[in-house]
């Protein structure tokens, strides 16, 4: 499941209508690295190329996460033993921190992490990266799949990919990290994504707010029936704050069962908006994904008192 999620995320970020990115190295994807130094080498080349071009850099890490001690977030590779260490797993915080110091041309960095305990990566990154970013004028965004607890079955990556693939009419024309965090959280079960950022003032002057992940294809004429309508300016704005009414489920089922459904109501009662909502999947009521309920006191239901060495519930012993 990890490989398909990583492949799709890469394709979406490279799609000109969505992420509109250029691969910093090769095809922009490293799968199942054997050694930690392989990860460091590939990232070094990506930073070097982005720095030379003066381009923003977007990095994604999907896999397991380990916190052995304060200030470290380890990303295991295939050769990592059961008990990882900085020499046998990639230390995301110190590794990226060193690359940022060496490659000052990367003025904007966005890091997405889908791994257990990844909230610690956000916490430690704020402690270690934001001071240098203030001195160098760098803009940093970090989006993680969870807080200090378990990330279940890559549901974060699945939700993020779905959001980039389909867009969300409730968000702006650009999918920025903080609104994305909120939109993705609504699709998750017992996971609380985290987002942290720092703007040292070095970002592009035409984009003064924060870094972004992708274009919102809900506004793309080629990919959205509403955006492609001549009445786009009338149909889309009301959906920005649309709240599905109690009858929405009944309405959806009626449309599924019948070729023609009549919506009756007085002028201004919301008939057009209700019908338009059927064109946007994110506006329809859906069940959240479910996962087995953990036993009381497990790391999935109770935040750990301190950084645990491994998540236990989703990272089985090798």
More confident residue, 229 or 146: 146
Which CATH number do you get for residue 97?
Answer: 3.40.50
Within this chain, do residues 49 and 102 fall inside the same structural domain, yes or no? Answer: yes
pLDDT, the chain, mean:
84
Within this chain, do residues 210 and 250 fall inside the same structural domain, yes or no? Answer: no
pLDDT at residue 220 is higher than 60: yes
Within this chain, do residues 148 and 127 fall inside the same structural domain, yes or no? Answer: yes
Q: Which of 38-52, 83-97, 279-293 has the lowest mean pLDDT?
A: 279-293
Q: How many Å apart are CA 168 and CA 176, to the nearest integer?
A: 12
Q: Cα-flanking dihedrals φ and ψ of residue 93, to 5°?
A: -75, -50
Q: Which of 219, 248, 273 is the last residue of a domain?
A: 219
Cα pseudo-dihedral 114, 63, 99, 207, rounded to 10: -30
Within this chain, do residues 209 and 274 fall inside the same structural domain, yes or no? Answer: no
Total number of domains in the chain:
2
- State how far the alpha carbon of 1 is from the alpha carbons of 10, 117, 157, 187, 314, in Å: 15, 19, 10, 18, 14
User: Residue 60 domain-assigned?
Assistant: yes
User: Residue 308 domain-assigned?
Assistant: no
Instruction: Give per-residue pLDDT as tens, 89-140.
Output: 999 999 999 999 999 899 899 999 999 999 999 999 999 999 888 888 889 9
Within this chain, do residues 187 and 272 fall inside the same structural domain, yes or no? Answer: no
Within this chain, do residues 177 and 92 fall inside the same structural domain, yes or no? Answer: yes
Q: Which of 164, 188, 219 is the last residue of a domain?
A: 219
User: Residue 243 domain-assigned?
Assistant: yes
Residue 273: partners with Cβ closer than 8 Å, 6 or more residues away: 238, 239, 242
Q: What pLDDT does 100 receive?
A: 94
Within this chain, do residues 163 and 35 fall inside the same structural domain, yes or no? Answer: yes
Within this chain, do residues 59 and 179 fall inside the same structural domain, yes or no? Answer: yes
Range of the domain at 135: 2-219
């Amino acid at each position: 499941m990890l490989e398909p999620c990583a492949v799709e995320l890469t394709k979406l970020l490279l799609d000109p209508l969505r992420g509109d990115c250029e691969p910093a190295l090769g095809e922009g994807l490293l799968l199942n690295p054997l050694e930690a130094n392989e990860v460091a080498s590939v990232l070094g080349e990506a930073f070097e190329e982005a720095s030379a071009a003066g381009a923003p850099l977007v990095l994604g890490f999907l896999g397991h996460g380990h916190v052995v001690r304060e200030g470290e977030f380890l990303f295991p590779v295939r050769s990592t033993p059961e008990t990882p260490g900085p020499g046998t797993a990639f230390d995301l915080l110190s590794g990226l921190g060193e690359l940022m110091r060496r490659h000052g041309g990367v003025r904007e960095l966005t890091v997405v992490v889908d791994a257990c305990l990844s909230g610690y990566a956000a916490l430690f990154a704020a402690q270690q990266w934001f001071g240098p970013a203030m001195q160098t004028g760098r803009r940093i965004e970090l989006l993680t799949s969870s807080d200090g607890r378990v990330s279940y079955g890559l549901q974060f990556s699945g939700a993020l990919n779905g959001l980039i693939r389909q867009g969300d009419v409730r968000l702006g024309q650009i999918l920025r990290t903080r609104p994305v965090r909120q939109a993705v959280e609504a699709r998750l079960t017992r996971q609380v994504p985290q987002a942290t950022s720092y703007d040292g003032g070095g970002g592009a002057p035409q984009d003064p707010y924060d870094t972004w992940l992708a274009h919102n294809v809900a506004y793309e004429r080629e990919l959205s029936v509403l955006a492609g309508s001549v009445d786009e300016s009338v149909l889309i704005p009301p959906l920005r704050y649309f709240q599905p009414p109690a009858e929405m489920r009944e309405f959806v089922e009626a449309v599924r069962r019948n070729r023609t459904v009549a919506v009756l109501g007085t002028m201004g009662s919301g008939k057009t908006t209700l019908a338009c909502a059927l064109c946007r999947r994110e506006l329809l009521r859906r069940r959240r994904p479910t996962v087995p309920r953990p036993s009381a006191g497990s790391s999935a239901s109770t935040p750990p008192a301190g950084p645990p060495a491994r998540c236990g519930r989703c990272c089985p012993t090798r």
